[in-house]
Amino acid sequence: MEAAAAAAAGGGCGSGPPPLLLSEGEQQCYSELFARCAGAAGGGPGPGPPEAARVAPGTVTAAAGPVADLFRASQLPAETLHQITELCGAKRVGYFGPTQFYIALKLIAAAQSGLPVRIESIKCELPLPRFMMSKNDGEIRFGNPAELHGTKVQIPYLTTEKNSFKRMDDEDKQQETQSPTMSPLASPPSSPPHYQRVPLSHGYSKLRSSAEQMHPAPYEARQPLVQPEGSSSGGPGTKPLRHQTSLIRSFSVERELQDNSSYLDEPWRITEEQREYYVNQFRSLQPDPSSFISGSVAKNFFTKSKLSIPELSYIWELSDADCDGALTLSEFCAAFHLIVARKNGYPLPEGLPPTLQPEYLQAAFPKPKWDCQLFDSYSESLPANQQPRDLNRMEKTSVKDTADLPVSTQDVTGDDKQALKSTVNEALPKDVSEDPATPKDSNSLKARPRSRSYSSTSIEEAMKRGEDPPTPPPRPQKTHSRASSLDLNKVFQPSVPATKSGLLPPPPALPPRPCPSQSEQVSEAELLPQLSRAPSQAAESSPSKKDVLYSQPPSKPIRRKFRPENQATENQEPSTVASGPASAATVKPHPTVQKQSSKQKKAIQTAIRKNKEANAVLARLNSELQQQLKEVHQERIALENQLEQLRPVTVL
Amino acid sequence: GANYPLYIRSTPTENELKFHYMVHTSLDVVDEKISAMGKALVDQRELYLGLLYPTEDYKVYGYVTNSKVKFVMVVDSSNTALRDNEIRSMFRKLHNSYTDVMCNPFYNPGDRIQSRFVCLGRAFDNMVTSMMIPVC
């Protein structure tokens, strides 16, 4: 067998071992390794470990060094390596041709996965073999270990995060490699199609050189971590795989950061940079950091990491602590971290490490900027109190929420009240803050519910976005949305106690309210009257909350719901006035009720119109994105076809 | 439809084939009971099918989920300590673990829950192990 060039490593006519099916990533990795072994000595790879068979003198072989080093770098026991060499046929034919080499690599991968060294083992899909590298800068014959590059082969979704990698690289402890690491960062933009695994010609070599320098150090640091025995003199050559290095490097940087951080003994601890990166990824999938990523979305995303499906499913099992088929931010970070670790060669743990538990992650890391302190304080209470969590998952537990709310209205003091209030506070920004009854809670919780009270549907996101603008200027909008501002002002004052009192009876009747699809808003609507009821006893101004609600109908569906309720309540007001503390004022609401109904109608209609517009926009956006997705798929298929043609024929 | 096992474990491992055979034949009994019950099963009681049929050595219990996934349990007749409600709770645990497996987006319904490499449904497997050991 002749030595094969890197790109054209052929398998073909291997004698002996049965046909071998290699995945694309494996082919790439193996061909590069082979080329490296071949190139290092100008011929085909020589025999493996010293205990391997003799090399047929006349054939093209390299020194035993490259292959032996490679095999030793796999950190398998010598006996296993011996078996592997035997099985792959090198002993039989006396040298490592491409086929033997590939089979040997595959057997190494199998052995590293814990499978017996058998030919049957390699028939299945395996992770790429991992080779530990010890050190060195230019002296190593092989590039960086397969685990860095081979296993981290395609992580296309990281392309958007190059800038964050840049930052991470900057913070990389290895100052000496800082300049080289910067250069690869420049090249990623030139390698957009790394998803399709088109090798980078340009950035490639730069990456290679930089990564080469980068990796030795982490590996040194990692050697004591992972396997004290394992540091062999050289690592397998996988430099060529670095055409995915923009992604790979991010992982390696992450890993380096992880390794070189103070937690040398805890590979499962997420560093700040990693955390931020994960959060950004989460946001790209799900803008709301307090909401979930659904199972299918997460599956598509993680599948891009090119880990095998069993491994990904195992990672999911570990990270989805509550087994609900969706990932919260912390669960997502844990899963992502496990994937990163796995791609870096760490075996997956038996159980979720304590540093990756959702509670730990939520407490350990402040949430991203936009919701930082509020969400943080909220999330810290999350493990303690199940109810906010339920509120967080409105789609699943909205019924429960509505059931819980009536119970907790008057007695709500702690998290419950805050949680409930927070959803309400969404609708009552300024007024709530001015509300003497609920000043502190609303102020502190104002921003919370915004993210919490909405599930991850796009409609609700749009609603949320729609709600955000109106919240700041409640008063002006109040007058703006209503035709007669004077009436409003007049209405509010006198109706304050009226609505207040009117709210007392209605809450029990609220659930059957005609709120169509958003039960969460039903619950929020319920919350509002109940909450306003709770403090309302004390202050007259609290019902102004409700009025504010009325006044901001166009952009807040919640208020839209409230309006029908308000109409109902107001209709009941005359009859239930007596119980209100401000009984005198209750007489006045009578004439104002009708005015408010008509205004509310207008407000409802405006709200409906705006929602329809938002719907149309989102539908358009959706179709555009679908179109783009189709195009990208086609591109990918075309490129994969090309690659298949160019690639050496699969050893069949 | 196809009645292939998504998951099968037995202990002790001798006579494994016999257990496989018994489980397979009991599927007919399960189908009988399901069809007798008619439409959607929502009640836990309806999910649990009870003793399917006793042989001289073994008792076979059945349970079917809402999605028509069948659980069959074969226990030794000499194990008199096992009472009906214990069997029920075991099935309940099986069902819960199975649901957890289903929650994994990487699991395709119809896949085997045992994998050669990394166990998809490792938690499921562990749960079954924990159930089998005290019983035997």
Compare all CA atoms of chain A with the CA of B115 and give the residue at the minimum distance.
A310
Query: Which residues in chain A are contacts of B126 at CB distance < 8 A?
Result: none
**Shortest CA gap B6–chain A (Å):** 15
For position A413, what pLDDT does the model report?
Answer: 44
Compare all CA atoms of chain A with the CA of B96 and give the residue at the minimum distance.
A323
Query: Which residues in chain B are contacts of A322 at CB distance < 8 A?
Result: none
For position A636, what pLDDT does the model report?
Answer: 92
**Shortest CA gap A98–chain B (Å):** 26
- Report residue A562 CA to chain centroid gap: 35
DSSP states of A24-50 as a string? HHHHHHHHHHHHHHHHHHTSS---SST
Compare all CA atoms of chain A with the CA of B106 and give the residue at the minimum distance.
A313
Read off φ and ψ for residue B58, nearest 5 degrees. Answer: -135, 160
B116 touches chain A (CB under 8 A): yes
Read off φ and ψ for residue A145, nearest 5 degrees. Answer: -55, 155
Compare all CA atoms of chain B with the CA of A348 and give the residue at the minimum distance.
B118
Domain A18-38+64-133 CATH (choose: 3.40.50.1820, 1.10.1040.10, 3.10.129.10, 1.10.238.10): 1.10.238.10
Query: Which residues in chain B are contacts of A298 at CB distance < 8 A?
Result: 105
Cβ-in-10-Å burial (0-12, 13-18, 19+) of A643 comes to middle
For position A632, what pLDDT does the model report?
Answer: 92
A520 with A454: CB under 8 angstroms?
Answer: yes
B4 touches chain A (CB under 8 A): no
For position A92, what pLDDT does the model report?
Answer: 61
DSSP states of A363-430 as a string? HHSPPPGGGHHHHHHHHHHHHH-HHHHHHHTHHHHHHHHHHHHHHHTTT--SHHHHHHHHHHHTT-HH
For position A631, what pLDDT does the model report?
Answer: 92
Residue in this structure with the two tokens 């901001």, named with its chain if needed = A552
**Shortest CA gap A489–chain B (Å):** 53
Instruction: Tell me the C-alpha distance between A216 and A219, whole Å.
Output: 5
B51: three-class secondary structure by DSSP: strand
Q: Do A295 and B122 touch (CB under 8 A)?
A: no
B106 touches chain A (CB under 8 A): yes
State the count of interchain CB pairs (< 8 A) between A and B: 55
Nearest to B105 among A113, A298, A314 (CB): A298
Residues of chain A under the 50 pLDDT cut: 1-18, 41-60, 62, 134-255, 257-265, 369-485, 487-492, 494-585
A155: three-class secondary structure by DSSP: coil
Domain boundaries along the sequence of chain A: 18-38+64-133, 272-363
Q: Do A313 and B118 touch (CB under 8 A)?
A: yes
Query: Which residues in chain B are contacts of A295 at CB distance < 8 A?
Result: 103-105
Chain A residues with a Cβ under 8 Å from any Cβ in chain B: 113, 115, 124, 126, 295-296, 298-299, 308-314, 316-317, 320, 323-325, 348
Instruction: Tell me the C-alpha distance between A96 and A55, whole Å.
Output: 8
- The reply to whether domains A18-38+64-133 and A272-363 share a CATH topology is yes
Query: Which residues in chain A are contacts of B122 at CB distance < 8 A?
Result: 314, 317
Buried b (16+ CB within 10 A) or exposed e, A454-486: bbbeebbbbbbebbeebbeebeebbeebbeeee
The closest of A53, A278, A252, A27 to A143, measured between CA atoms, is: A252
Beta bridge partners of B75: B59
DSSP state of A327: E
Q: Do B105 and A324 touch (CB under 8 A)?
A: no
Residue in this structure with the two tokens 């030139």, named with its chain if needed = A190
Q: What is the pLDDT of residues A171-189, one digit of tens each?
A: 444 444 444 444 443 444 4
B60 with B74: CB under 8 angstroms?
Answer: yes
Domains and CATH numbers, chain B: 13-131 (3.30.450.70)
Nearest to A313 among B99, B106, B116 (CB): B106
Q: What is the pLDDT of residues A339-394, one digit of tens each?
A: 888 888 888 777 777 777 777 777 776 555 444 444 444 444 444 444 444 444 44
Query: Which residues in chain A are contacts of B100 at CB distance < 8 A?
Result: 317, 323
Instruction: Tell me the C-alpha distance between B74 and B133, whole Å.
Output: 14
Nearest to A124 among B105, B116, B122 (CB): B116
Query: Which residues in chain A are contacts of B112 at CB distance < 8 A?
Result: none
For position B39, what pLDDT does the model report?
Answer: 54
Compare all CA atoms of chain A with the CA of B114 and give the residue at the minimum distance.
A310
Q: Mutate one of B98, B99, B104, B129 to test the A interface: name it (highest A CB count within 10 A).
A: B104
Nearest to B105 among A124, A126, A295 (CB): A295
DSSP state of A346: P
* Tally of CA atoms within 13 A in the half-sphere of B127 that contains its CB: 19
Q: Do B117 and A324 touch (CB under 8 A)?
A: no
CA A471-A476-A479 angle, to 5 degrees, is 115
Cα A272 to Cα A278, A365, A404, A431, B78: the distances in Å are 10, 8, 37, 38, 58
Task: Give the strand pairing for B48-54 and A326-327.
Answer: unpaired
B81: three-class secondary structure by DSSP: coil
Instruction: Tell me the C-alpha distance between A561 and A328, whole Å.
Output: 29
Helix axes A162-171, A245-260, angle to 10 degrees: 40
A103 with A26: CB under 8 angstroms?
Answer: no
For position A431, what pLDDT does the model report?
Answer: 45
Q: Give the N- to C-terminal CA distance of chain A in Å, as an integer.
A: 17
Residues of chain B under the 50 pLDDT cut: 41-42, 116-118, 136
**Shortest CA gap B121–chain A (Å):** 7
Does residue A353 come out as left (phi exceeding 0), alpha (psi in the -120 to 50 range) or beta? beta
B126 touches chain A (CB under 8 A): no
pTM: 0.35
Buried b (16+ CB within 10 A) or exposed e, A201-231: eebbebbbbbbbbbbbbbbbbbbebbeeebb
Q: Which long-range contacts (CB under 8 A, 24 or more apart) does A365-372 make?
A: A365/A270, A365/A272, A365/A275, A365/A333, A367/A279, A367/A289, A367/A329, A368/A276, A368/A279, A368/A283, A368/A289, A370/A289, A371/A289, A371/A290, A371/A447, A371/A448, A371/A451
**Shortest CA gap B26–chain A (Å):** 30
Q: Do B103 and A323 touch (CB under 8 A)?
A: yes
Query: Which residues in chain B are contacts of A323 at CB distance < 8 A?
Result: 99-100, 103
Q: Do A314 and B122 touch (CB under 8 A)?
A: yes
Give me the amino acid identity at A252: S
Q: What is the pLDDT of residues B58-94, one digit of tens each?
A: 788 888 877 778 888 887 777 666 778 888 888 888 8
Compare all CA atoms of chain B with the CA of A312 and give the residue at the minimum distance.
B106
Q: Do A295 and B121 touch (CB under 8 A)?
A: no
Q: Do B105 and A325 touch (CB under 8 A)?
A: yes
Q: Mutate one of A314, A316, A319, A338 to test the B interface: name it (highest B CB count within 10 A).
A: A314
Nearest to B104 among A126, A308, A317 (CB): A317
Nearest to B100 among A298, A311, A323 (CB): A323
- Is the C-alpha dihedral spanning A102, A105, A110, A113 positive or negative? negative
> How many other C-beta atoms can be found within 10 angstroms of the C-beta atom of residue B136?
11
Count of residues in chain B: 136
CATH topology assigned to domain A272-363: Recoverin; domain 1 (1.10.238)
A224 with A131: CB under 8 angstroms?
Answer: no
B109 touches chain A (CB under 8 A): no
